[in-house]
Structure 1
Amino acid sequence: MGAAVAGDVADGVPGGAAAPMSARSVWTRPALWWRVGIVLSAGLGLITGEGSLVYFTVESNVIVLGYFLASLHHMVARGTVDAPAPRLRGAATLYILITGLVAHVVLNHGASPLPGLTHGSGADRLQSWSLLLLHYTTPIMVLLDWLCLRPRNASRWRDLPIWLAFPLGYAALTELRAALFPFFPNRYPYFFLDPAGHGYGWVGLQIVQLTVEFVVLAAVVVGLDRLGTRVRAAFRADAGAGESTAIGGR
């Protein structure tokens, strides 16, 4: 019972730090194996696909892969279920959620990715499996990691502009590269960055609209982290009050 209480108390402090444990014990914890799954999902998606680093999809999955590989090393070396650099974890979570939502809603118009897994040539099916991992499996797994695993309550509202600098910088760099190097392959990786049909004014409006949506998404990421901690604290308080009442009634 003492260990459970210690773990519960850890949830209530900023960052939700867990008590140290032996390296051997870490290997038995679901948190470690969940993060192994994230690494496998992102890694397999990257090596089986045909995308290059000009795509935000690839860049965000590389960030996730690198972060969670470092997390696994940190967890084993320190004997903890906590992921390191929790505010960087929040940034990685935001970027991979942007990838998943833009792919599903903007690029695929809400269409199911499943038919492509079994139809078409072998190369087409492999690409479909890769995109399923990069656009769906990895974002969902990272979101669940953010919601359910430690550390908690470590993100701050002031992190939002820092997190958003990367996707905005990506858009700016894409436009600059396309202007300076007109023969660069995949000058405009996404249609909403291509001014050919509608002009730069239209592209600017697309970027503004997406920025507003990304701000909302970033706020949701921070809010879920902080709200989840408050809900758990309230639940523990209610449970503690109920236990005290039961003991007093005896």
Structure 2
Amino acid sequence: MSGPGRTAVVAGSTASRRGSVPLRWLIVAKMFFAFLGFSAIVTEIATLTTRQRFRAADFFSYFTVESNALAVISLTVGAFALAAGATGRGLDFFRGAVTLCMTTTIAIFIVLLSGYPASELTAVPWDNTVLHYIMPIVIMVDWLIAGRIRPIPLRRALVWLVLPLAYLVYSLLRGPFAHWYPYPFMDPSHHGYLGVAVTSVIIAVVLAVVTGLIAGVARWNPLTRWE
């Protein structure tokens, strides 16, 4: 169905049963996982505060926290946009940037951090599962199936790299002054400056490749399939 019929399905008011049910559940799923991610961040703050270990500057300097906060925003805004039939290129572009950040989160965690005990990574072990596994997977699946996404040119998608690369620079510059690094692979005292430099270059190259994959991946649209 095309034209006005397509809008009706998104709005949900006059949609057919086949079209409206999957969309409704998609919206519910977005809100559920947005709440899950938000609750994990709040639980971390509350637990660290109770233990008198919460330092806002350090806590919000974790890429995991920043990317999950963006994921919560993306899912929430995406849910309301779908409900209102107001999805657009701007939201798609933001979702792509968040997808890159969350893909980075799970990839770096698995490759470089998964060997550490969960208690050293998060204040609450369950939050480790939510923030490092569940939410990144949810965002990647959301990118594949949710909304009307048009292909994004690679040259435009490369702008997404600004977020993770700016974070990397920020962390490396802040570390010597704060005497603290958010992740061991960023700490020169562990691997030396050469080791940190090599790791940073590898991460940058991998991010560029992942950006191309995210921008160019074929996307299945459940709304179109059900119309």
TM-score by length of 1: 0.69
Q: Identity of counterpart residues, as a percentage?
A: 26
Task: Name stretches of at least 5 consecutive residues in structure 1 with no aligned partner.
Answer: 11-17, 237-250
Answer whether contact 1:174 1:188 (CA < 8 A) is retained: yes
- The equivalent residue for 2:198 is 205
**Count of residues in correspondence between the two structures:** 202
2:36 to 17, 41, 44: 41
- Cα distance in 1 for partners of 2:210, 2:11 equals 37
- Larger radius of gyration between Structure 1 and Structure 2: 1
The structural deviation recorded for 1:160 is 3.3
- Cα distance in 2 for partners of 1:38, 1:155 equals 25
- Cα distance in 2 for partners of 1:132, 1:45 equals 10
Q: Please state whether the residue corresponding to 1:196 is helix, strand or coil.
A: helix
**Pairing of 1:59-70 with structure 2 (within 5 A):** 59-70=66-77
* Structure 1 stretches of at least 4 aligned residues deviating more than 4 Å after TM superposition: 23-28, 80-84
**Pairing of 1:58-207 with structure 2 (within 5 A):** 58-76=65-83, 78-79=84-85, 85-109=91-115, 127-179=124-176, 181-183=177-179, 187-207=180-200
Q: Cα–Cα, structure 1 residues 79 and 150, in superposed 2: closer, same or farther, change >3 Å?
A: closer
Counterpart AA for 1:178: G
Task: Name stretches of at least 5 consecutive residues in structure 2 with no aligned partner.
Answer: 49-57
Q: Cα–Cα, structure 1 residues 75 and 148, in superposed 2: closer, same or farther, change >3 Å?
A: closer
TM-score by length of 2: 0.76
Answer whether contact 1:45 1:134 (CA < 8 A) is retained: yes
- The equivalent residue for 1:228 is 219
| Higher share of residues assigned helix | 2
Counterpart AA for 2:129: L
Q: Please state whether the residue corresponding to 2:198 is helix, strand or coil.
A: helix
Answer whether contact 1:41 1:137 (CA < 8 A) is retained: no
The structural deviation recorded for 1:66 is 1.6
Answer whether contact 1:32 1:81 (CA < 8 A) is retained: no
Answer whether contact 1:42 1:138 (CA < 8 A) is retained: yes
